[in-house]
Amino acid sequence: MNDDAYEGARLDKSDVVLKTTGLEKAFGGLVATDSVSIEVQRGTITGMIGPNGAGKSTLFNLISGFYENDAGHVTVNGEDVTDLEPHERARKGLVRTFQTPRRLEGMSVREAMLVGPGPQKGESIFSLFFSGSDVTEEERANIEQTRELLERFEIGHLIDQPSTDLSGGQMKLVELARAFTTNPDILLLDEPVAGVNPTLANDIKRFIRELNEEGQTFLIIEHDMPFIMDLADPIIVLDQGKVLMEGSPDEVRSDDRVIEAYLGGAGP
Amino acid sequence: MSAVSSWVSETLVRDATERRIFATLGLITVLLVVGVLTGVIGPRFLLFQIALVGMYALLSLGLNVQWGYAGLINFSVAAFWGIGAYCAALLTAPNSPLGLGLHPVFGFLAAIVVSAFIAVLIGIPTLRLREDYLAIASLGLAEVIRAIILNEDQWTAGSSGISGIPELLSWLPLTDAATTAAVVVFLIAVVYLFLRRVHRSPWGRVLRTIRSDEDLAKALGKNTYQFKMQAFVIGSVIMAIAGAFYAHLNLYIDPSDLVPLTTFYIWIAVILGGTGSNRGAVVGAAVVIAIREGTRFLNDIGFIQTLGVDLAPLRLLFVGGLIILIMRFRQDGLLPPKDELIWPAARDGSGAGGASASGAAPDGGTSSNGGDDR
């Protein structure tokens, strides 16, 4: 595909939560992210698709700060966060989940959930000794929120389970619920239904949509086409580290360049 | 008495296997008391051993904060212990190279301050990196500290060591052995209660998350570097306190104990007791020291003498064999952590924090009782 085919993302949105300008990252000679500029509008579920190796996960790592970029900027709510550490970006409202969540060994689901809210008073040793009652109050509220959220996600019965005993799909649900407890401005989900059975995948879709209707903004990487086409609008298509195009699911579906990218340059 | 036993069964014992472990420990205690009463074991010797076990328990508690809570691999346990011991010895012994002869309180204070400072120094470059870097740097630190103490004789008296360290609280109406035993029990109680409070809290929970998946903790907005630094400093300070205590127990200190073997005894104690568990750290230390000190006397037993084998030098072999057995039959250690790390006061009738009730499980099953993690 020649370079003219790369139309890039739409950069004229209003009320932008997350914006990248000219993000670049190379691993040795391989350019994994090539001048990527995207915008995510508040209140949307923005999808991100692309063939394997298109650079989706690298872009997520750059946005969330786990990789250092070679060039470009990331802004959250208009504030430049390019130089911030991952945890600082999270506190600015940019929270991500991982493609393959590691199990939290030795933790119950309740504990695993309670790590989410933050920063908590009880995370300071000083407060543990000198303002114990504040810690108690906050902890009670967080436990209550955990219970409600798990019930809402229809996994309330798992609250006492060791988190290592959960199925892949249940783990993804817990991850989603936990990420939500951080009260993020934008949630980046990395393949939320990879390896999840269809019933649970439908549940996850329903919960994401519900949270979105309440105002939560999402940016979602997903390989499952029916899932993402049904859920997201707009959808950004990445190919070979660049933004190929952005559009509604229908536009993406009928775009020749997208088809070509997925089928691997079969056309003339 | 029944109040004590019910406290033990409610707060310490969590399942049937643990009940057996505590029963065994109780039996050993009874045997030791009988041994003292019948004159087989000298009370002074026993009290000295208690103080020694207590010191190792402190070291294990310190390492447990670092490795058990936060997953930090620290191979310089002996170095922090030595820093504590030398701070105490240098400041309090009248004939040390500094010749100050200060009150022991200043020795302990210096041990805390110096160890915290060195922990921060070693933590700054390593705790931002992957966990193996701390392991490598701490191995180096252990040797550096030992070499400095050994070679800078004008400050540390080098290999000739420092003697004349004063006893603690000599005005107490107890024998010196009883006093040191009482002091170590007091130190363990203070450290244990401190750790219990900070561990079962949002703070301890973040450390447990870091241990499993540091990236996740970062993604949730936790400053993992800062949490790891806190755990590293707290653990190192506890080790230094143990060292300062040892100086006043042994009344003499030289660099020969600052060898890697001391560090690995503590690692064995923590793993044996149950990584991440404070109870386990104390019990693990007691078991390791019991084997190490107990096997000294193997050759004195008549039955073994008739075998014509010299068993005492095989002490390390016994420790190794025990570890293999434990790892085979009880992978998570003798007393693995059981608590959900939730602020105890926030657990209430609404079903939160079922862990407190889990002691009732009659069959030791963990899958069925709420809140238990392995």
List the Cα angle B25/B28/B30 in 5-degree steps.
110
**What does the pLDDT average to over A226-232?**
92
Quote the minimal CA–CA distance from B56 to chain A in Å.
25
Q: Are residues A188 and A198 in the same domain?
A: yes
Q: Are residues A187 and A93 in the same domain?
A: yes
pLDDT of residue B308: 67
Burial class (CB in 10 A: 0-12, 13-18, 19+), B302: exposed
The mean predicted confidence, pLDDT, of chain A is 90
| Residue B198 contacts A, CB cutoff 8 Å | yes
pLDDT of residue B12: 59
Q: Are residues A125 and A235 in the same domain?
A: no
- Expressed in angstroms, the distance from the first to the final Cα of chain A is 10
Residues A38-70: tens digit of each pLDDT: 999 999 999 999 988 888 999 999 999 999 999
8 A C-beta contact, residue A122 and residue B203: yes
pLDDT of residue B5: 63
- CA dist B162 and B213 (Å) reads 45
Count structural domains, chain A: 2
User: Which B residues 107-146 touch A at CB under 8 Å?
Assistant: none
User: Which B residues 19-58 touch A at CB under 8 Å?
Assistant: none
Q: Are residues A172 and A252 in the same domain?
A: yes
Q: Are residues A96 and A113 in the same domain?
A: no
A48: in domain? yes
- CA dist B369 and B335 (Å) reads 17
User: Out of B203, B352, B370, whose CB is closest to A122?
Assistant: B203
Q: What CATH number should be reported for the domain holding residue A245?
A: 3.40.50.300
pLDDT of residue A43: 93
Give the rounded distance of the alpha carbon of B299 from its chain centre: 29
8 A C-beta contact, residue B286 and residue B335: no
pLDDT of residue B7: 60
Q: Are residues A212 and A177 in the same domain?
A: yes
Smallest CA–CA distance from A100 into chain B, residue: B216
pLDDT of residue B368: 35
**More reliable by pLDDT, A26 or B300:** A26
Last-in-domain residue among A114, A145, A165: A165
Smallest CA–CA distance from A87 into chain B, residue: B221
Q: Are residues A92 and A197 in the same domain?
A: yes
- Nearest alpha carbon to residue A156 among A168, A174, A176: A174
**More reliable by pLDDT, A266 or A255:** A255
CB contact under 8 A, A124 and B343: no
**What does the pLDDT average to over A218-246?**
92
Smallest CA–CA distance from A116 into chain B, residue: B220
The boundaries of the domain holding residue A91 are 3-103+167-263
pLDDT of residue B357: 36
> CA B174, B180, B183, B188 torsion: positive or negative?
negative
- Residues forming beta bridges with residue A247, ordered by sequence position: A235
Residues B195-207: tens digit of each pLDDT: 999 999 999 999 9
Smallest CA–CA distance from B336 into chain A, residue: A106
8 A C-beta contact, residue B233 and residue B198: no
CB contact under 8 A, A124 and B203: yes
In chain B, domain spans: 53-257
Give the rounded distance of the alpha carbon of B320 from its chain centre: 19
Please list the helix, strand and coil fractions of chain A in percent, rounded to the nearest 5, in that order.
40, 25, 35
A268: in domain? no
Quote the minimal CA–CA distance from A226 to chain B in Å.
28
| Residue B276 contacts A, CB cutoff 8 Å | yes
8 A C-beta contact, residue A26 and residue A240: no
- CA dist A192 and A209 (Å) reads 13
**Residue A206: pLDDT over 50:** yes
Quote the minimal CA–CA distance from A204 to chain B in Å.
20
User: Out of A97, A122, A162, whose CB is closest to B373?
Assistant: A162
**Residue A1: pLDDT over 70:** no
**More reliable by pLDDT, B153 or A81:** A81
User: Out of B224, B227, B342, whose CB is closest to A114?
Assistant: B342
Last-in-domain residue among A165, A187, A210: A165
CB contact under 8 A, B371 and A160: yes
A189: in domain? yes
User: With a cut of 70, which residues of chain B have pLDDT below it?
Assistant: 1-14, 298-312, 348-374
Q: Are residues A153 and A43 in the same domain?
A: no
Give the rounded distance of the alpha carbon of A151 from its chain centre: 22
The phi and psi torsions of B144 (rounded to 5 degrees) equal -60, -45
- ipTM of predicted assembly, 2 dp: 0.91
8 A C-beta contact, residue A261 and residue A1: yes
Residues of B in contact with A116 (CB under 8 A): 220
Give the rounded distance of the alpha carbon of B284 from its chain centre: 8
**What does the pLDDT average to over A13-29?**
91
